[in-house]
Amino acid sequence: MRHIRVAAVQFEHVPGDKAANLAKVRWFVERAAGLGVELVVFPECCITGYWFLRHLGREEFAALAEPLFDGPSSQALLRMSKEHGITIGAGLIEAGPDGRFYKAYVVAMPDGSARRHRKLHPLVSPHLTPGDEYTVFDTPHGCRVGVLICYDCNLIENVRITALMGAEILLAPHQTGGCRTTNPQVMGLIDRALWDNREAGPEAVERELRGEKGRGWLMRWLPSRAHDNGMFVIFSNGVGVDDDEIRTGNAMILDPYGRILAETWKADDDMVVADLDASLLEPNTGRLWLAARRPELYQPLT
């Protein structure tokens, strides 16, 4: 891997309005390109919208979903990528050639190629089919990346396997924070009125975004995914209204020691940028631990 400048974006999507959401993607891509960014990561399902999906029937899914990579959203991402010389990752609902629907993440690259990850754990709707493979590939920027979507990252085996497949950078698009939960110690809802009043009084809602419902939740596990596997992590998340929940943003970029290189807790659309120092990959603690593994002991995992 060589040094590379990357960006993580958070934004409030419009449910079902792909044109409006792609316009936001384009705005951020143009801004990132002007800052010399080579790889920009957008949230899970940011093109189609996320939490409202649980209300949709199969016919409504069919109307929203698109084929990859010939569908209009994939083609729009590829055009932006080629125009600005920047690799772009963004999420949407895929209409698979098998008639099934997948929660997908498209990575469009400036050489005209594209890759896809299908979420392994798509919990939001019974109409979604889980993906059945890991996604790790080389980019035109001299780095090897892996993709895991939201809940995929919570299962530590998924991140470890992605690292073992050679990923140097993990793209981690999410829609998380501020979630309804049966566990009162984890997350919890944010009052919609705090978000609606953010322009007049941003401190109250930003306190929630930085607190246990947002950043506090992330800090209990996200840095360890980077540190324990010895790779950079680009965490992108939704922010703001997502049906009846408020997403907490906190877009951030972490180094292979789990240290935060850049982050935001802004109660608004935002982007953070960081330069990834390739020298941190060799050696680092996580990679030493990967080398020290004893796979012959791990049969109980399966």
Q: What is the pLDDT of residues 33-74, one digit of tens each?
A: 999 999 999 999 999 999 999 999 999 999 999 999 999 999
Confidence of residue 216 (pLDDT cuts 50, 70, 90): very high
What are the distances in angstroms from CA 44 to CA 13, 100, 123, 242, 299? 10, 19, 13, 12, 33
Task: Quote the pTM value.
Answer: 0.97
156-168 mean pLDDT = 98
Q: What pLDDT is recorded for position 183? A: 74
Is residue 282 classed exposed, middle or buried when 0-12, 13-18 and 19+ CB atoms within 10 A define those classes? exposed
Concatenate the DSSP letters of all residues of the chain into one string. Answer: ---EEEEEEEE-PPTT-HHHHHHHHHHHHHHHHHTT-SEEE--TTTTT-SGGGGG--HHHHHHH-B-TTTSHHHHHHHHHHHHHT-EEEEEEEEE-TTS-EEEEEEEE-TTS-EEEEE-S---S-TTBPPP-S-EEEE-TTS-EEEE--THHHHSHHHHHHHHHTT-SEEEEEE--SS---S-TTS-----HHHHHTTTT-HHHHHHHHHSTTTHHHHHTTHHHHHHHHT-EEEEEEEEEEETTEEEE---EEE-TTS-EEEE---SSSEEEEEEE-GGGGSS-HHHHHHHT--GGG-GGG-
Which pLDDT tens digit goes with each residue over 273-297?
Answer: 999 999 999 889 999 999 999 999 9
* Beta pairing class for 114-118 and 101-108: antiparallel
Q: What count of other Cβ atoms lies within 10 Å of the Cβ of residue 300?
A: 5
Q: What pLDDT is recorded for position 283? A: 86
Q: What pLDDT is recorded for position 261? A: 98
Q: What pLDDT is recorded for position 186? A: 78
Rounded-to-integer distance, Cα 129 and Cα 101, Å: 6
Q: What pLDDT is recorded for position 246? A: 97
Given a cut of 80, whether residue 79 has pLDDT beyond it is: yes
Average pLDDT over the chain, rounded to whole?
96
Q: What pLDDT is recorded for position 238? A: 98
Rounded-to-integer distance, Cα 41 and Cα 127, Å: 26
73-79 mean pLDDT = 98
Confidence of residue 251 (pLDDT cuts 50, 70, 90): very high
Which pLDDT tens digit goes with each residue over 112-161?
Answer: 999 999 999 998 999 999 999 999 999 999 999 999 999 999 999 999 99
Given a cut of 80, whether residue 184 has pLDDT beyond it is: no
Sorted by sequence, the CB contacts under 8 Å of residue 248 that are 6+ apart come out as 176, 177, 178, 190, 208, 209, 213, 214, 215, 217, 237, 239
